Amino acid sequence: MRESLEASRTCYLMTYRVSIDCVEGVLSHSHSETQPRQKSVKNEASSTSEAREPDASLTAELVARSVAGAQKPLSDTVGELARQCVLDWVGVALAGSQDALARLLREQAEEDGGTPVASIVGSGGVRLSVRQAALVNGATGHALDYDDANVAAQGHVTAAVLPAVLAVGEANGASGEEVLRAFAAGYEMAGAVGQYLGRTHYELGFHGTATVGSFGAACAAALLMGLDAQSTAIALGIAGTQAGGMKAQFGTMCKPLHAGKAAENGVVGAQLAARGFTGCRDLLAAPQGFGAATSPEPDVRAALAPPPGGSYLNGNLFRYHAACYGTHATLEAVRALCVEHDLTAGMITRIDLDVESRARAMCNIARPESGLQAKFSLRLNAALAVLGEDTASPAIYSDAIVSRTDLVAVRDRVNVHFMPPDWPPMASMVRITTCDGRVLQKVHDSSVPDPDLARQRDRLTRKFMALAVPVVGSARAVEIERAIGALDRMVDIRSLMSLLRQPKETAL
């Protein structure tokens, strides 16, 4: 069965696996020396004074690629994916603006004060400073845990990068095309950094949205501000030295705060670098730098390997369930079995879930005590699927559901089995045992994006409308959706940001 899971994603991963094998032959001499240094750094008595020259660093290479990419028009595919990311994030941010987390952050920012130049999504007209807007909008967009994700980057890239881009872009009057290019460049940086740090970075307890996302946000903000390559590298270093975010915070308001902090870190990194603030030019790969401190074996080859199809955006995974992405494969498989076999809760004696080992620290809250914790419970989400609840609606994850007797009864029949490390990420094998002795099995892999972009856009548009209309009204929601669809032709991003901050009652 594991072979069938691997087969389902072979087409998507083949390019990436081949490119990693090939990249060793094209690395410069300085890069070829970096790999053993990174793998042995914990055994060396190196000091930060041994930092490499800027033109020999991993950061310099990644920045050079980002600058080159941002100077060229986006391909049709990457441009469409970038606009889809914007549409999806705006929808979840508008819905998230009604969450208590968003209110608390807005109140704190307004109390702190600052120059009001950047709009707060769904706030009814609030504008804050650039860094405050990045923080508040970043956390707001991840408040419902309904935003997109990327396996390579080990987190929610759009939630970390786009708020930084929008805040800087609005303050500087950037065009829609400039915003999209900067966002795409920041996304690529996050993908490369995620690959450099490797899966063990996440397994150690780091939330990639906060850590990896900080580098992506800094890259995007720096490019949009017009920083040169050297200053951009320093901006990444400033952002990285602020980056944190522990997975122990999952199920609390601090998880969405991670996205906000990543966006804010990126903005601060770019702002300070623009003023001449100094910092390590290769924080990623320097001895005692970010890679050495947060990953057992940072991998330069993986960081420099071309992503599948030439862009990490090709691996962006949109979410159609308002819960942790680690639960999605289980939700899909359980629901499919129940539909195919006309199963009801009373017909089921046992549900077994085979999932990846890192789900243990990601979405394994056995008995959630709040709606927020319910998003991180494989067992409860399996029960929701059995009972046919609408997990596409954020409202289903309320505090009331965790004590519903019908859900609890099914939840307690669910057994979670964590597979060996080579089990495919974001894949679930579900076995449902029925009262009449049948064992029904279904496998679902949530790590493979939809290859049909038109179908994906239609689905995302429906999701957007469902989230946005209750907040801004149907007329405004349609106007926002159309504006994002033509974002590459928008003269000034302030046109969009004005729509996003206005109160509902002013909608035409």
- The per-residue DSSP string of 12-37 comes to HHHHHHHHHHHHTTT--HHHHHHHHH
pTM: predicted TM-score of the whole model, two decimal places = 0.84
pLDDT at residue 167 is higher than 50 = yes
Mean pLDDT of 26-42: 35
What does the block give as tokens for 265?
């870190």
Q: What is the pLDDT of residue 505?
A: 55
Q: What is the pLDDT of residue 17?
A: 39
Give pLDDT tens digits for 37-96.
Answer: 343 333 332 333 334 343 459 999 999 999 998 999 999 999 999 999 999 999 999 999
Strands 427-434 vs 348-355: parallel, antiparallel or unpaired: antiparallel
* Percent of the chain scoring above 70 in pLDDT: 88
Residue whose token pair is 């979410």? 319
Picking from 3, 5, 125, the residue whose alpha carbon sits closest to that of residue 504 is: 125
* Residues contacting 337, CB < 8 A, separation 6+: 343, 430, 432, 440, 441, 442
User: What integer best gives the mean pLDDT of the chain?
Assistant: 89
CB 266 within 8 Å of CB 219 = yes
**Residues facing 377 on adjacent strands:** 364
Domains parsed from the chain with CATH numbers: 32-315 (1.10.4100.10), 325-445 (3.30.1330.120)
Handedness of CA 137, 69, 35, 267 (dihedral sign): negative
pLDDT at residue 293 is higher than 80 = yes
CA dihedral of residues 88, 195, 165, 51 (deg, nearest 10): 170
Picking from 186, 240, 260, 174, the residue whose alpha carbon sits closest to that of residue 216 is: 186
Q: What is the pLDDT of residue 79?
A: 97
> What is d(CA 324, CA 372) in angstroms, rounded to the nearest whole number?
10
Amino acid in position 419: M
Give pLDDT tens digits for 193-218.
Answer: 999 999 999 999 999 999 999 999 99
Q: What is the pLDDT of residue 41?
A: 31
The continuous run of DSSP H or E covering 442 comes out as strand 439-445
Mean pLDDT of 113-134: 96
Q: What is the pLDDT of residue 24?
A: 37
Mean pLDDT of 489-499: 97
pLDDT at residue 332 is higher than 70 = yes
CB 108 within 8 Å of CB 229 = no
Q: What is the pLDDT of residue 503?
A: 75
DSSP readout, 455-505? HHHHHHHHHHHHHHHHHH-HHHHHHHHHHHHTGGG-S-THHHHHHHHS-GG
* Residues contacting 424, CB < 8 A, separation 6+: 2, 5, 6, 9, 356, 445, 447
Q: Which residues of 186-213 are buried (b: 16+ CB within 10 A; e: fewer)?
A: bbbbbbbbbbbbbbebbbeebbbbbbbb
Confidence band (pLDDT; 50, 70, 90) for 502?
confident
Picking from 242, 229, 288, the residue whose alpha carbon sits closest to that of residue 135 is: 242
Q: What is the pLDDT of residue 31?
A: 38
